[in-house]
Amino acid sequence: MSTTRPAQRPEPKLREQAYDAFTRHLLRSDIKPGQFITQRELVALTGQPLGAIRELIPRLEVEGLIVTVPRRGLQILPLDISLIRNAFQFRLILEREAITSFCQTASDARIEQIEATHQAVVASAQKGATDDIIARAQQVDREFHETIIDDLNNDIISKAYRVNWIKVRLIRQNETSLEKDLVIPVMREHLAIIAAMKARDVDAATEAASAHIMNARARALRLD
């Protein structure tokens, strides 16, 4: 008697590769917020098999990166006022907690190293913000926030923060990311947070972090 062998599930590695490819193309604007896309198009975009894409979609839906619209199909998350407010509010909640902890526990040497990295970007940008310097500033910006978040040693928070970061990055790309005129002001906002950390002044550090995040929110809402 013959038996039907169940369909094989894609290897976890393929599912992660599909996710990484999807987010990479999303952040490169190869696919746009609000765009409708089919499973077959996702296969072509990511270079991953259909099985991996079918398993990827529920994850993207849970993370809010894709929404299923009845009778229309899969839609890349649309950018609207609600998303902007929610994403920055979530970021504010997480980062205030992380700043408080980091300010109290990080070593002086670690804080000074972060400070020196920012000062180097500012010094370079003052001579002229080239594409390379802008890219470096974007890297330093992301590493600063993720370092503080990851220092909480909470995998749930770290993962949630990174998904939210994708949304924030999409919002910022819609009105420009960390562009030439923003490099020095953003680095100086970070330096204000860092200075408070060096002084072990939790209140000043969280206040500076809140101001930094609200400035970014204002730019995204075009209120500045």
What average pLDDT does this structure show over 19-48? 92
Give pLDDT tens digits for 90-140.
Answer: 999 999 999 999 999 999 999 999 999 999 999 999 988 788 998 899 899
pTM of the entire predicted model: 0.83
What average pLDDT does this structure show over 145-154? 97
Tokens representing 187? 């680095």
Nearest to 42, CA basis, from 23, 28, 69: 23
Strand order in the sheet with 73-76: 36-37, 73-76, 66-69
What average pLDDT does this structure show over 49-54? 92
- For residue 187, CA distances in Å to 22, 104, 119, 122, 142 come to 29, 22, 8, 7, 11
Q: How far apart are CA 193 and CA 188, in angstroms?
A: 9
